[in-house]
């Protein structure tokens, strides 16, 4: 299994904070968001770790090359969307981590458990790690752990981490949003959720980022 850390976005929801640096290089508790994601990725069994880049790519790529070894850069001259970013580098099953989340060390065991569950259930094409004990929900999961997407009956929250099976995106265009795939995957009954206990705070907006400073 390979790992993709998503780091190509413009960071528009961060307003002026990303005027001069890419969002993944913003710091919380004196550590960059990209570091939280890569450090988690390195502790998960993997073949390769990829980081996709676009906005302010030279700054981010220089930082990664100076501080990490064996990280593969997937540069996007034109931004591809999450779906396109996955398709570009997918030649194996893939674990995807956002840099919009403040990753907790306790999540590592849960990711490993989710990978085992994914490997044991070949009917699952895409497994989304979710938490149903919070207050701000953005997805619906049913009693069979299937994700209904789209839906307005929110009862769980996406944790910014999912696992997708190899060769599931070959029929999709090179530039597309992963939500387009989720719609079809849900219709086919192959989009699942995996319940987690750990909560990785979402810090992808200026308000949430500032709220989580400590």
Model confidence, pTM: 0.95
Distance in angstroms (rounded) separating the CA atoms of residues 97 and 132: 19
Q: For residues 138 and 20, give the distance between their C-alpha atoms in angstroms, rounded to a whole number.
A: 31
Q: How many CB atoms lie within 10 A of CB 185?
A: 20
- Per-residue pLDDT of the chain (214 residues), as tens digits, is 999 999 999 999 999 999 999 999 999 999 999 999 999 999 999 999 999 999 999 999 999 999 999 999 999 999 999 999 999 999 999 999 999 999 999 999 999 999 999 999 999 999 999 999 987 899 999 999 999 999 999 999 999 999 999 999 999 999 999 999 999 999 999 999 999 999 899 999 999 999 888 6
């Amino acid at each position: 299994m390979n790992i993709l850390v998503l780091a190509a976005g413009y960071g528009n929801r961060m307003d002026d904070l990303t005027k001069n640096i890419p969002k993944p290089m913003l710091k919380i508790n004196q550590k960059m968001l990209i570091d939280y994601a890569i450090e988690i990725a390195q502790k998960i069994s993997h073949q390769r770790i990829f980081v996709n880049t676009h906005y302010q790519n030279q700054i981010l790529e220089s930082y990664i090359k100076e501080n990490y070894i064996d990280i593969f850069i997937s540069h996007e001259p034109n931004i591809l969307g999450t779906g396109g970013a996955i398709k570009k580098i997918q030649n194996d099953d893939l674990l995807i981590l956002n840099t919009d989340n403040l990753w907790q060390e306790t999540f590592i065991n849960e990711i490993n458990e989710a990978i085992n569950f994914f490997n044991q259930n070949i009917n699952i094409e895409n497994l989304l790690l979710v938490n149903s004990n919070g207050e701000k929900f953005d997805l619906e999961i049913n009693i069979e752990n299937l994700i209904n997407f789209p839906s307005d009956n929110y009862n769980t929250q996406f944790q910014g981490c999912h696992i997708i099976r190899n060769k599931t995106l070959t029929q999709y265009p090179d530039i597309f949003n992963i939500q387009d795939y989720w719609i079809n995957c849900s219709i086919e009954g192959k989009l699942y959720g995996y319940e987690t206990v750990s909560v990785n705070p979402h810090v992808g907006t200026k308000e949430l980022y500032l709220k989580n400073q400590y």
